[in-house]
A and B are shown apart, each in its own frame.
Chain A
Amino acid sequence: MSELDEFKATYFDECSELLIELEEQFIAIEEGDQDTERLNAVFRAIHSIKGGAGAFGFQSLVGFAHSFETLLDYVRDGRVELTEDVTTLCIRSVDLVADFVTAAQEGRELGADYGADEKRQFDALCNPDAADDAGAEEEPEDFDIDFTPVMVSVGDEPAEESDQFEESPLDADLNAALMDDVDDSDEEALAEEIANADVVFEGDHQQVEMAEQDEEDDIVDMAYGDCWRVVFTPLPALYERANDPLLLFREMSIIGDTVVHADLRPIPPLQDFEPFQPYCAWTIYLKGDDVTEERIREVFEFVEGDCEIEITPPGGISEQQAAHLVGDISASAKVVVKPEEMTPAVDEPVEGGDISFAALAGELGVSGLGDAADEPEAPATTEASAPEIEAPVEAPAEQPSAPEASAEVVSEEEEAAADASLTALLDAEKEKAPAPAPTPATAPAPAAAATPKPAAPKAPEKAPVQSIRVDLDKVDRVVNMVGELVITQSMLTQQMDETLREKYQELVRGIEVLAQTTRGLQDSVMAIRAQPVKSVFSRMPRLVRELASKTGKKIKLEMVGEQTEIDKTVIEQLSDPLTHMIRNSADHGVESVEKRAALGKPEQGTIRLSAEQAGGNILIIVEDDGAGINRERVLAIAKERGVVPPDQTPSDEQIDNLIFAPGFSTATEVSDISGRGVGMDVVLSNIKKIGGSVHVRSNPGRGTRMTLRLPLTLAVLDVMLVSVAGCPYVVPLSSIVETIQAGKADFGKTPSGARLLSIRGEYVQVADLATRFSMHTTAAEQDRFVVLCEADGSSKIALVVDEIIGQQQVVIKSLEENYERIDGIAGGTILGDGQVALIVDVQGLKGSNHRNAA
Chain B
Amino acid sequence: MRVLTVDDSRTILAMLQHTLAGAGYEVLQAENGQEGLDVLQKEAVDVVITDINMPVMDGIEFIKNVRASGKFQSLPILILTTETSQDKRDQGRAAGGTGWIVKPFDPDKLLSVIKKVSH
A: residues with CB less than 8 A from B are: 3, 6-7, 10-11, 13-14, 40-41, 43-44, 47-48, 50-52, 54-57, 133, 136-138, 140, 239-244, 247, 251, 301-302, 305-306, 343, 346-347, 371, 373-374, 377, 430, 433-434, 443-448, 450-451, 453, 455, 458, 462, 464
Q: Which of B70, B77, B116, B118 contacts A433 (CB under 8 A)?
A: B70
The residues of A that contact B100 with a CB separation of less than 8 Å are 302
Whether A464 contacts B56 in the complex (CB less than 8 A), given A240-B73, A242-B77, A374-B73, comes out as: yes
Instruction: Decide if A43 touches B90 in the complex (CB within 8 Å).
Output: no
Count: A-B pairs, CB below 8 Å: 149
B44 an interface residue at 8 Å Cβ cutoff? no
The residues of B that contact A462 with a CB separation of less than 8 Å are 55-56
Contact with A along B56-76 (1 / 0, CB 8 A): 111011000001101001111
The residues of A that contact B70 with a CB separation of less than 8 Å are 371, 373, 430, 433-434
The residues of B that contact A244 with a CB separation of less than 8 Å are 74, 117, 119
Chain B 73-117 residues near chain A, CB threshold 8 A: 73-77, 82-91, 93-100, 102-105, 116-117
Instruction: Decide if B10 touches A54 in the complex (CB within 8 Å).
Output: no
A–B Cβ pairs within 8 angstroms, 23 of them: A3-B18, A7-B11, A10-B10, A13-B10, A44-B55, A50-B82, A55-B15, A56-B104, A136-B85, A137-B84, A140-B85, A239-B74, A241-B93, A242-B73, A242-B74, A247-B118, A302-B99, A306-B93, A347-B119, A371-B70, A448-B60, A455-B56, A458-B55
Distance A50 CA – B10 CA, assembled complex (angstroms): 13
Among residues of A, the one whose C-beta sits closest to the C-beta of B105 is A55
Distance A137 CA – B111 CA, assembled complex (angstroms): 24
Q: Which of A41, A447, A453 contacts B90 (CB under 8 A)?
A: A447
Q: Which of A302, A343, A443, A445 contacts B117 (CB under 8 A)?
A: A302
- Most chain B CB inside 10 Å of its own CB: which residue of A137, A239, A242, A243: A242
Tell me the smallest distance from the CB of B49 to a CB of chain A, in Å. Answer: 13
Distance A301 CA – B86 CA, assembled complex (angstroms): 12
Instruction: Decide if A48 touches B33 in the complex (CB within 8 Å).
Output: no
The residues of A that contact B9 with a CB separation of less than 8 Å are 14, 48, 51-52
Instruction: Decide if A448 touches B95 in the complex (CB within 8 Å).
Output: yes
Instruction: Decide if B96 touches A55 in the complex (CB within 8 Å).
Output: no
Instruction: Decide if A47 touches B14 in the complex (CB within 8 Å).
Output: no
The residues of B that contact A346 with a CB separation of less than 8 Å are 119
Instruction: Decide if B85 touches A7 in the complex (CB within 8 Å).
Output: no
Instruction: Decide if B96 touches A455 in the complex (CB within 8 Å).
Output: no
Q: Which of A136, A371, A453 contacts B86 (CB under 8 A)?
A: A136
Among residues of A, the one whose C-beta sits closest to the C-beta of B66 is A242
Instruction: Decide if A447 touches B94 in the complex (CB within 8 Å).
Output: yes
The residues of A that contact B76 with a CB separation of less than 8 Å are 242-243
Whether A240 contacts B96 in the complex (CB less than 8 A), given A51-B82, A251-B116, comes out as: yes
Whether A47 contacts B53 in the complex (CB less than 8 A), given A14-B10, A241-B97, A302-B99, comes out as: yes
Tell me the smallest distance from the CB of B14 to a CB of chain A, in Å. Answer: 5
B12 an interface residue at 8 Å Cβ cutoff? yes
Instruction: Decide if B75 touches A242 in the complex (CB within 8 Å).
Output: yes
Distance A450 CA – B87 CA, assembled complex (angstroms): 10
Distance A140 CA – B74 CA, assembled complex (angstroms): 26
